[in-house]
Amino acid sequence: MGPVLLVLLLALILFGAGFALKALWYIAVIVLVLWLVGFFVRPAGAGGKRGRWYRW
């Protein structure tokens, strides 16, 4: 009974880690797309000249 529970626990941990990693990949792709859009579509800064959308 013990080894079966151990294998089940291992399967649940690996499933959770796989789901978390997949979610992190989706978040990384969304952030990359937002960064690229912000890089190419720069809003007008102070004085009417086009500036950067980030401050660094």
User: Does the residue 36 lie in any domain?
Assistant: yes
The pLDDT of residue 20: 85
User: Does the residue 55 lie in any domain?
Assistant: no
Per-residue pLDDT of the chain (56 residues; tens, 9 = 90+): 788 888 888 888 888 888 888 888 899 999 988 888 877 776 555 555 555 555 55
Question: Could you list the residue range(s) of the whole structural domain that residue 34 is in?
Answer: 2-43
Q: Residue 28 — φ and ψ, nearest 5°? A: -65, -40
User: Does the residue 54 lie in any domain?
Assistant: no
What is the domain count for the chain? 1
Q: What angle do CA 15, 20, 26 make, to 5 degrees?
A: 130
User: Does the residue 52 lie in any domain?
Assistant: no
